Amino acid sequence: MQCNTCCQGLTDINWSPSWKTIKRMQCKACSKEYNTPSNSRRMYVDGKYINQSHPLHKPGRYESFGDLAFSSLQNFKNLKEGHVYAIRNPAWPEWIKIGKAIDAKDRLKAFNTGSPMRDYELLHFVKTEDNNKAETDAHNIAARLAVPPWDKKSNGEWFKITRGQALEILREVTND
């Protein structure tokens, strides 16, 4: 028998007795090299291993908010599901951003990270089965309602609409 990784012969010296029982065909040296935390193919958040099958897997070590970093994904079957939201900042009260995210509250935190006043406000969000389509529909409705001139190239997801209009737009795209 030989190691599946390096093809070295497996002996009592380089092969663990417990591995023999489960027929793990890897020598101790290869196991140590492959399973070290510095393995470039693995992802760790706050020291916890994140499986490669995770939809947000990206190799490396990340110091973040641990389980909270991915808690928003637990209830979703795929990445199409998520939220379409409306956010505003009191510095520009007539402008409202309509966007999509897996979790609108996490997205608000990201906005506030970039704002020294931490003053972005989540006006409303709705859960959708396809947040790409819902966001596109919401943008089309908002573009029709927005105070002219509305230019997609310069304003993107920000619309000059009222809070009430934003709420109605989000309700309409989810048929609430």
What does each of the 176 residues of the chain score in pLDDT, given as a tens digit?
Answer: 888 888 889 888 888 888 788 888 888 888 776 665 567 777 777 667 777 877 777 777 776 534 444 554 554 445 688 899 999 999 999 899 999 998 899 889 888 888 888 899 999 999 998 989 999 999 999 988 888 766 665 578 999 999 999 999 999 998 75
Whether 44 and 62 have beta carbons less than 8 Å apart is answered as yes
User: DSSP character for 149?
Assistant: P
Antiparallel, parallel or unpaired: β 43-45 and 60-62: parallel
User: How much is the pTM?
Assistant: 0.56
Helix axes 163-174, 131-145, angle to 10 degrees: 140
> How far is CA 86 from its chain centroid?
18
CB proximity list for 157: less than 8 A, separation 6 or greater: 97, 98, 99, 139
Locus of tokens 């079957």 = 77
Looking at residue 75, its pLDDT comes to: 47
Looking at residue 74, its pLDDT comes to: 52
Instruction: Give the start-to-end residue ranges of the domains of the chain.
Output: 1-35, 37-71, 82-174
User: DSSP character for 111?
Assistant: H
Looking at residue 116, its pLDDT comes to: 86
Looking at residue 59, its pLDDT comes to: 78
The terminus-to-terminus CA distance of the chain in angstroms comes to: 63
How far apart (Å, rounded) are the C-alpha atoms in residues 39 and 61?
10
Locus of tokens 């573009």 = 143
